[in-house]
Structure 1
């Protein structure tokens, strides 16, 4: 049996389950992630869309990513919690936001992206690969 990571919004209306280990995990300090989270940045975990199941209603907010493509953030229309990124049924992978995890201990960041935008008051955990912008 593979490991399943679960999570969702504050009110429980928007949920997900991800099978297996994430393809990547890290911290993003870009301006979009700071504004969307209301904090220093966002912890994220990337999963293939085939590993994920979603339940409940989601609303989307679309902005331009650093690469110029659309960045789609999904949030609960009831409580407003930011839960995941990507378009279900279209994208081949999705970003799960670490703040939405049922068990926050499963989040083990490996990288930092957009470190150039990290607030001076936000410390970095030791041992992470740090990128000043989006890595290639």
Structure 2
């Protein structure tokens, strides 16, 4: 779930680990230092956006998907989100 970095706020401590994304730019994955759950990501390719892992939300029903991204990485058996517009990479 992508949100604007300017409206995103974190309370509490997180840890981060940077990896190389498919764009060949780094993306930092932020996680809970206690349990290790992934919380959000900050990709260099879109510096004004934060990607929130929906499973980390207290109420995941607030997430209403509008499209599927990185469908080129989808397994052939994964039909989740197939009714949504799909993009093989990051959408404009």
Fold in common (TM above 0.5): yes
Deviation string for 1:53-112 (max 9, x for gaps)?
21111111111111111111100111000001128xxx5331111111111111111111
Q: Which runs of 5+ in 2 are unaligned?
A: none
- In 2, Cα distance between the equivalents of 1:114 and 1:93? 16
Distance 1:56 1:111, change over 3 A: same
Shift of 1:47: 1.5
Partner-residue secondary structure (3-state), 1:111: coil
**What corresponds to 1:135 in structure 2?**
91
- In 2, Cα distance between the equivalents of 1:68 and 1:103? 33
- In 1, Cα distance between the equivalents of 2:51 and 2:81? 21
- In 2, Cα distance between the equivalents of 1:126 and 1:113? 11
Alignment of 1:15-30 (within 5 A): none
Normalised TM-score (structure 2): 0.82
Question: Is 1:113 aligned to 2:69, yes or no?
Answer: yes
- Higher RCO, 1 vs 2 (CA within 8 Å, ≥6 residues apart): 1
Q: CA RMSD in A?
A: 1.9
Shift of 1:116: 1.9
**What corresponds to 2:41 in structure 1?**
85
- Equivalent residues, number: 89
List 4+ stretches of structure 1 deviating above 4 A. none
Q: Which runs of 5+ in 1 are unaligned?
A: 1-44
